[in-house]
Amino acid sequence: MALPYQWQYRLDRWKATLQGFFGGGGNQQPRPKLCPNCGSLVGINATRCHNCGTNLRFSMAAVNRGLSGVFSGVFSGPAPVTTALLVANLLMFGVEWMASAAQGQGGLSILGGMGGESAYRLGVSSPYGIYYRHEWYRLITAMFLHGGLIHIGFNMMSLMQLGPALEELYGSSRYFFLYIFTGAFGFLVSSYTLHNSLGASGGLLGLVGAMLAITSKRGGSYMRELRSRLFSSVLILFVLGAIRGIAIDNWAHGAGLAAGFAIGKIFADRQPMNARERQIANALGWIAGIALIASFAFMILHYRDPLPGQA
């Protein structure tokens, strides 16, 4: 059966990208190329960019450009990182649900009663695991776990409302760093106050904090209205979190919000404009990406470890 046109186009695009990424290219004649970091036109035999000095054979910018080409067929559009985060959260929710079902949790627990042993093994933020077993990867893996359909539903709707605008403003690399760092910082503070926690809302509050920082640096009636709406939403969330019996982690939310506000004050309210800014942005994106991959790798390695209280 022939592939649909869209998938044939994507496969051809990936093939061409991978050929260039790994040095292939068939019988094409050599031709001048563009620097992956600053975009300057460089010679056929050049090994370094004459404008910014980037190594053309191997550099973080070159790898970043190559990988973005490989994945652009799947995560195309103006907000590829937001889309990837949405997919990752949904996939982990599926894994969490299957693990919970294997532990005997089923039925209506999927709405809001998931957790327990399966969540702990998949990397929930746990003071015992973090400070006693030194499983620091939990600060990141917990961002991709949720307590049920209601929990992940609200969080993913918030992600799709907040994420695309900030990703377009900051660029994908800095936006990715913002989300991962603020979420991890939120769980760090939450675990220090002896809370077991999970969910994407620490990183989401980090996005809100960055938006508050942006509105504080800009004038105009629209910015004032947006700031007022953000303050109202945050206030309602914290009031709900203060009500006994409602499982909302105000410590993770508050720390994520504060971290996002601080980063929003530091970041320029635009995409990187020159070679140095792009290098810094790429480095931040890779730091977040490596931390994310390493965290899930450690989670898999420790998945079968004894639970707290077991020998």
Domain ranges of the chain: 33-73, 80-301
Mean pLDDT in the chain?
A: 82
Please state the rounded mean pLDDT for residues 26-38.
Answer: 61
Tally of CA atoms within 13 A in the half-sphere of 289 that contains its CB:
15
Q: Using 50, 70 and 90 to split pLDDT, how confident is the model at 211?
A: very high
- Amino acid (one-letter) located at 47: T
Q: Where are the beta strands (DSSP E) in 21-143?
A: 33-34, 41-42
- The string of pLDDT tens digits covering residues 82-131 is 999 999 999 999 999 888 887 776 665 677 667 788 899 999 999 999 99
Quick one: pLDDT at residue 263? 97
- Rounded CA-CA distance 300/123 in Å is 9
Q: pTM value?
A: 0.78
Higher-pLDDT residue of 208, 19: 208
- Exposure b/e, 50-76, CB count within 10 A at least 16 = b: eebebebeebbbbebbeeebeeebebe
φ and ψ at 84, to 5 degrees?
-65, -40
Residues 6+ apart with CB under 8 A from 131: 191
Superfamily holding 80-301: Rhomboid-like (1.20.1540.10)
